[in-house]
């Protein structure tokens, strides 16, 4: 009877990484990493290979904690201060950006994209897997705008090289736009935004960043949101992000 029951439910089967995203455990891409790391179990059995399907009634756990699909969808903008990490946990015990979110939110939220430990500014948190997948995919073409400050004067050759494109250790980095704000400060707009892209480019030119802050993601502005504070995205901002539009 149990086998028949599971067979009857196959039409409603869902990929495990999709289930985790809808449950607010992680984005689909991050969920794949959680699975391959052996941190996810289905009905008490660890699943470490992608492709597993979840059926209605199955029990899915992340690190031994039951996760379930949530009805309430959250889309929040957070002003991440420096010295906070964008992760669900940290072996070094550093403060987590997710812990700055309102305590009344019971659902598990995760960050869409990242800001490194030393950077500050705008980051989006959600438990909406479909939204996260669309917004984080490079094909969405969503602009991210940053302001940076260096310890030394920035030569004119640096912004020019960044806009023209530069290869560092086999990886191509290219800014959409670079504006000079001062002798030691720039405004930079990226689209794809590879891991630690700005820091890698400026390190290549032997320039030390003393400040890096993201002030915009697509149509969403950091504005006067205070460090450590968050707010709900407006319907207009959500629509703009899904359409890949900017300000």
Cα 64 to chain center, whole Å? 24
- Tokens 């530069």, located at residue: 166
- The DSSP code for 153 is P
CA distance 65 to 29: 20
CA distance 72 to 53: 23
The token duo for 67 is 């996760």
Backbone angles phi, psi at 210, to 5 degrees: -105, -10
Nearest to 9 by CA among 51, 53, 55: 55
Among residues 116, 167, 179, 224, the one annotated as catalytic is 116
**Strand boundaries in the chain, DSSP class E:** 14-15, 40-42, 45-47, 53-54, 60-62, 65-67, 75-80, 110-112, 120-126, 144-150, 166-168, 171-173, 177-182, 185-190, 209-217, 220-221, 230-232
116 part of the active site: yes
Q: Which residues pair with 58 in a beta bridge?
A: none
- The catalytic residue positions are 116
């Amino acid at each position: 009877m149990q086998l028949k029951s599971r067979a009857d439910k196959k039409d409603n089967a869902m990929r495990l990484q999709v289930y985790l995203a809808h449950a607010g455990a992680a984005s689909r891409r991050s969920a794949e990493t959680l699975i391959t790391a052996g941190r996810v179990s289905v009905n008490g059995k660890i699943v470490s290979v992608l492709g597993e399907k979840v059926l209605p009634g199955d029990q899915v756990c992340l690190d031994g904690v039951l996760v379930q699909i949530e009805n309430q969808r959250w889309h929040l903008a957070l002003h991440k201060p420096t010295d906070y990490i964008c992760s669900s946990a940290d072996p070094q015990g550093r403060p987590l950006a997710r812990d700055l979110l309102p305590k009344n939110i019971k659902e598990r939220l995760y960050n869409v994209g990242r800001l490194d430990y030393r950077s500050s500014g705008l980051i989006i948190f959600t438990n909406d897997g479909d939204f996260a997948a669309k917004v984080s995919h490079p094909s969405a073409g969503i602009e991210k705008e940053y302001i940076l400050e260096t310890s030394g004067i920035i030569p004119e050759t640096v912004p020019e090289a960044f806009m023209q494109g530069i290869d560092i250790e086999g990886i191509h980095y290219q800014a959409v736009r670079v504006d000079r704000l001062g002798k030691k400060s720039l405004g930079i707009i990226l689209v794809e935004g590879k891991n630690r892209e700005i820091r890698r480019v400026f390190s290549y030119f032997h320039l030390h960043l003393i400040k890096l802050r993201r002030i915009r993601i697509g149509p969403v502005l950091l504005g006067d949101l205070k460090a450590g504070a968050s707010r709900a995205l407006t319907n207009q901002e959500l629509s703009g992000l899904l359409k890949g539009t900017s300000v």
